[in-house]
Amino acid sequence: MASATHTKDRDAEPRVEGEQRSTKSTVLETGAAMTQDFSPLQNVCAHLNAFHVYASDPRRFVETNHYCGHLTEDVWQCLLYDSPSPGARLIGVEYMIRPHLYESLPQEERRLWHSHVFEVKSGMLVMPRPSSALVPQALWEKAETAEMGEVVQLYGKVYHLWQVDRGDKLPLGEPQLMTSLSAADQLPGLEAVLDERDKRFPGCDWRRKREIRKDIKEPQIHPDADYTWKKKA
């Protein structure tokens, strides 16, 4: 898996087919940004980082940056990118819902969704603190832990549209159903993967997050969730 980049130069990496953006395109984009209304994007209120694995091949995984907003108190929607940089590729979408909505779904549908308990309790799911943030680390961690107390209850359904882990420079093939981990041994070398990720986010330490999240109450996970791992059992 290619490492994410935090570069401010959106054309720095030739990871996508096509010529670099022209001056004309840049000028047009700047004008549009100053005059158009991007209301749906203003709903984004949280940046989360975690790892997704392919439901069809759990040996493959992708680091994913989620930019999420609430549609209602019970439904979240997230745009998924391969990095937090301006030139990040939009690689998928995730929907997250509260348990009472999940339980109302038919069984075949419920099997497409995953829980967030391991992501939260292990410290794998983080809310990256911007390097320029004026909020002290202790206050950021308190806010992040409170957010994780909400996310731990949710069920998510994820589709990736761009298989960046295999080096595709265009979004090829059919959408891929993704899932998350529900146990540490499902991804060999997980600790090293998390250590590498943490180096790229100031103040991020999954081991410390695991420790300070011990008091987050774990909900009971519906037996139909995390179906990828149950098929393998």
Can you give the pTM of this predicted structure? Answer: 0.85
pLDDT in tens, 166-217: 999 999 999 999 999 999 999 999 999 999 999 999 889 999 999 999 999 9
Alpha-carbon 166 to chain mean position? 18
Q: Is residue 75 part of a domain?
A: yes
Q: Is residue 102 part of a domain?
A: yes
Q: How far apart are CA 70 and CA 44, in angstroms?
A: 8
Greatest C-alpha distance within the chain:
55
CA–CA distances in Å: residue 183 to residues 85, 112, 179, 229, 232: 30, 18, 12, 9, 13
Query: What is the H or E stretch that residue 160 is in?
Result: strand 155-160
Q: How far apart are CA 145 and CA 120, in angstroms?
A: 9
Q: Is residue 28 part of a domain?
A: no
Q: Is residue 118 part of a domain?
A: yes
Number of domains in the chain: 1
Q: Print the SS3 string covering 99-136.
A: HHHHHCCCHHHHCCCEECHHHHHHCCCECCCCCCCCCC
- Structural domain harbouring 105: 44-232
Q: Is residue 50 part of a domain?
A: yes
Q: Is residue 51 part of a domain?
A: yes
pLDDT in tens, 17-74: 676 655 654 544 555 555 677 788 888 889 999 999 999 999 999 999 999 999 999 9
Q: Is residue 29 part of a domain?
A: no
Instruction: List beta partners, residue 115.
Output: 155
Q: Is residue 13 part of a domain?
A: no
